[in-house]
Amino acid sequence: MAEGHRVFLIGGDTSSSPGLLFISVTLLGGKKENPGYHHGTQWREDLSVTDTLGDLLLALHLARAQGGKIASPDEEYLFEKHFNPMPRVQEGRALAERGLATAMINVSDGLFSSLMHICEETRVGATVWSERSPQCASFKSISSA
């Protein structure tokens, strides 16, 4: 998948669980000579995301609870998104090339975990309004049922 996006693999995150080994690769968009980093954030900047939040965690909970059985088109959409993730390479490149982002990070470990990394590295705090969190229609449909 990296070759299809002309991405250089420069790091990763390896995690394990009892009895199983799984590997999670984290990719950051940007030019090789000018990649996006976590430490560029400054006071009073806005936090933005390039996709909806919560979809993958909800899909994981549904997959565990239902043994991977799909019961609705909304679940099918979330399962597809979870089991076949698409990196936001074009968005990252566009932000970096236009100088619109002072820091970038993936949120595959969750928004708050990733935000903590940025806050620690930049020594700034953050305020997040959960009601402004972008959520897809499938997430809203399933989580409100």
pLDDT of residue 7: 62
pLDDT category, 95, cuts 50, 70, 90? confident
pLDDT of residue 41: 72
Q: Phi and psi dihedrals of 34, rounded to 5?
A: -150, 65
- Res. 110: pLDDT tops 80: yes
pLDDT of residue 121: 83
- Res. 48: pLDDT tops 90: no
pLDDT of residue 28: 57
State the residue range of the domain holding 102: 3-144
CATH number reported for the structural domain that contains residue 35 in this entry? 3.90.650.10
CA distance 125 to 121: 11
- Res. 19: pLDDT tops 70: no
Write the DSSP assignment of 69-137 as a string of letters: ---SHHHHHHHHHHHS----HHHHHHHHHTT--S-----TT-HHHHHHHHHHHHT------GGG----H
For 33-55, what is the mean pLDDT?
75
Number of domains in the chain: 1
Task: Output the pTM of the full model.
Answer: 0.66
Torsion angle (degrees, nearest 10) of CA 48, 10, 23, 110: -10
Task: Choose between 134 and 27: higher pLDDT.
Answer: 134
